[in-house]
């Protein structure tokens, strides 16, 4: 029959097309596997749970365990400690750029007391500003930072108010990441033009003034830059400023924010005044960017310094949470200083304020603020200072990438061509394990839509048993899953379609419920 004859003629071509398709799929799989293995397979082998990849350390760092500080580096230079208590510190931060320049004393007290009550121990703020406030560059009381050209003739009344805010923050146990003067990516919006037009000697002298004035406070981290693009030709000026501070202040840590979607080390290089690596990544760039910086050389311990803010760029509550958990579990293990809320960061003042903005006071208890509080509680209940990202997927071995096959192929090609880290899908899971094998933490953004597979042998326990929990990042509660053997693999499916955090501990460690008590 004619139809049968036609089918017989088409059959060989169908087989050929099918074989070609299978070959392409196999080739893509090999390509993706090879790409991931060559770029990110820095994790540890589940066959030997103690064979951990550790990032390199610098031979010498300017500041180690400075006395009397809320945040300083431990003697190994690998994590933060409070040198007064001797305990490890996890950054739970907030962007409050206009705190010093916009608020009066009573409002500043309201803000600081609220953040402290939620466990926030870090706030990024500007010592001087010429844009993000109601009467720039004057503060609430009408005083200007400089009575002459920018960075010169510092006004005594203005800086007395800066003193007061820093001292009140210390009373509340909050460290201020203090920006001497925010650069900005374009004009208006920062001191970019002033940096470009100011001699390095003047900036060095301004740095000396800052270093002398604040070297005895217990709660400062110097935050150089701010959207600092190297192409603007200001890195020599920023280095002069940092060097001036360091000449007078050999106590406080120093960080820097460079260009967006980059780390401080990528923008500034391994300059001698840099103590920590500030990661400035947004959304799906965070996992790859954080992992690449964890395993880079030269290396510095990293934290998420800035990401997308709540109520801006259409970020959902889920996406705000994703940024924090992705960053920490992918290598920014010092903590999340990248949380911010609009209009809270500029206190609903300045050119960026909109008529329909909510009040900044109403945002103190925003969903993002509450979830940031729970994030801090979770990581403080475990050995956060020992977390090693599972970049090679040796712990979280299945169900982690939410991308489809075609999307994975496209992203692999993009990352290879551009020399950029592979970006996981927008609902992908990430994990980290403590270097001693006591704890695994995995974040699952898409809930019950994902079933993840864990290599249980990554947990080190003398009785070969592990206790597993689900932690709810939205309300801080936890659910005990059960005890399981530390061999083979086990699949875990979250309780519902919302995001969840899986916590697996050595049974013998006898740890409390995640987020319930500081370790």
Digit-coded pLDDT (tens) for 326-358: 999 999 999 999 999 999 999 999 998 988 899
DSSP 154: B
Give the domain extent around 219: 72-385
For 164-214, the pLDDT digits (tens) are 999 999 999 999 999 999 999 887 889 999 999 999 999 999 999 999 999
Residue 495 lies in a domain: no
Q: Is 497 exposed, middle or buried (0-12, 13-18, 19+ CB in 10 A)?
A: exposed
Region 397-416: mean pLDDT is 87
- In this prediction, residue 425 carries a pLDDT of 83
User: Strand pairing of 335-336 and 91-95?
Assistant: parallel
C-alpha 320/C-alpha 340 separation (Å) is 9
| Pairing state between β 387-389 and 430-434 | antiparallel
Rounded Cα distance between 43 and 452, Å, is: 18
Give the count of domains, the chain.
1
DSSP 8-state symbol, 341: B
Q: What is the bridge-based pairing of β-strands 439-444 and 430-434?
A: antiparallel
Token output for 306: 């800035």
CB 249 within 8 A of CB 297: no
Between strands 396-398 and 452-455, the pairing is antiparallel
Angle in degrees, CA 432, 436, 437, rounded to 5: 55
Lowest model confidence (mean pLDDT) among 79-88, 120-129, 220-229, 413-422 = 413-422
For residue 8, tell me if it sits in a domain.
Answer: no
- Residue 472 domain-assigned? no
Residue 48 pLDDT greater than 70, yes or no: no
Task: Answer yes or no: is 362 within a domain.
Answer: yes
The set of residues, in sequence order, having a beta carbon less than 8 Å from that of 315 and lying 6+ positions away, is 283, 308, 309
Contact assessment for residue 61 and residue 210, using Cβ atoms and an 8 Å cutoff: no
On whether residue 160 sits in a domain, the answer given is yes
Alpha-carbon distance of 287 to 393, in angstroms, equals: 13
Q: Round to whole Å and give the CA distance between 201 and 179.
A: 19
Residue 168 within a domain: yes
CATH number at residue 335: 3.20.20.80
Instruction: Give the number of other Cβ atoms within 10 Å of residue 56's Cβ.
Output: 10
CB within 8 Å of 2: residues ≥ 6 apart: none
Position 63 scores a pLDDT of 80
Peptide bond into 298 cis (omega under 30): yes
| Inside any domain, residue 425 | no
């Amino acid at each position: 029959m004619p139809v049968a004859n036609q089918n017989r003629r088409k059959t060989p071509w169908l087989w050929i097309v099918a074989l070609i398709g299978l070959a392409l799929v196999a080739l893509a799989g090999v390509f993706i596997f090879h790409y991931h293995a060559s770029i990110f397979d820095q994790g540890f082998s589940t066959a030997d749970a103690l064979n951990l990849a550790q990032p390199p350390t610098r031979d010498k760092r300017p500041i180690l365990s400075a006395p009397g500080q809320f945040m300083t580096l431990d003697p190994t230079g690998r994590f933060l400690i409070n040198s007064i208590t001797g305990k490890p510190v996890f950054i739970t931060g907030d962007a409050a750029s206009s705190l010093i320049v916009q608020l009066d004393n009573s409002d500043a007290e309201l803000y600081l007391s609220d953040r402290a009550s939620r466990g926030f121990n870090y706030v990024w703020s500007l010592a001087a500003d010429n844009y993000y406030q109601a009467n720039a560059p004057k503060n609430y009381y009408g005083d200007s930072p400089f009575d002459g050209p920018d960075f010169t003739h510092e006004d005594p009344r203005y800086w007395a108010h800066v003193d007061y805010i820093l001292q009140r923050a210390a009373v509340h146990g909050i460290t201020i990441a203090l920006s001497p003067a925010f650069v900005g990516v374009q004009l208006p919006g920062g001191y970019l033009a002033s940096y470009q037009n100011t001699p390095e000697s003047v900036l060095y002298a301004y740095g000396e003034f800052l270093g002398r004035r604040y070297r005895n406070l217990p709660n400062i981290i110097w935050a150089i830059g701010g959207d600092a693009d190297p192409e603007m030709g200001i890195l020599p000026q920023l280095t002069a400023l940092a060097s001036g501070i360091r000449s007078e202040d050999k106590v406080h840590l120093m960080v820097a924010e460079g260009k967006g979607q980059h780390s401080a080390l990528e923008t500034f290089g391994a300059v001698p005044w840099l103590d920590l690596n500030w990661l400035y990544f947004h959304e799906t760039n965070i996992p790859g960017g954080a992992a690449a910086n964890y395993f880079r050389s030269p290396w510095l311990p990293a934290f998420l310094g800035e990401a997308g803010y709540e109520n801006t760029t259409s970020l959902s509550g889920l996406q705000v949470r994703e940024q924090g958990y992705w960053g920490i579990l992918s290598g920014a293990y010092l903590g999340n200083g990248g949380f911010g809320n609009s209009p809270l960061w500029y206190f609903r003042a300045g050119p960026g304020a909109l008529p329909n903005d909510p009040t900044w006071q109403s945002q103190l208890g925003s969903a993002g603020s509450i979830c940031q509080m729970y994030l801090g509680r979770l990581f403080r209940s475990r050995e956060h200072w020992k977390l090693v990202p599972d970049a090679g997927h040796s712990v979280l071995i299945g169900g982690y990438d939410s991308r489809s096959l075609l999307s994975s192929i496209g992203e692999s090609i993009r990352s290879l061509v551009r020399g950029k880290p592979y970006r996981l899908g927008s609902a992908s899971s990430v994990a980290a394990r403590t270097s001693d094998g006591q704890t695994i933490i995995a974040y699952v953004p898409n809930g019950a839509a994902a079933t993840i597979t864990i290599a249980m042998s990554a947990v080190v326990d003398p009785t070969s048993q592990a206790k597993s929990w689900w932690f709810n990042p939205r309300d801080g509660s936890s659910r005990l899953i059960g005890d399981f053997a530390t061999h083979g693999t086990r699949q875990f499916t979250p309780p519902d379609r919302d995001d969840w955090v899986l916590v697996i501990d050595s049974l013998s460690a006898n740890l409390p419920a995640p987020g319930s008590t500081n370790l």
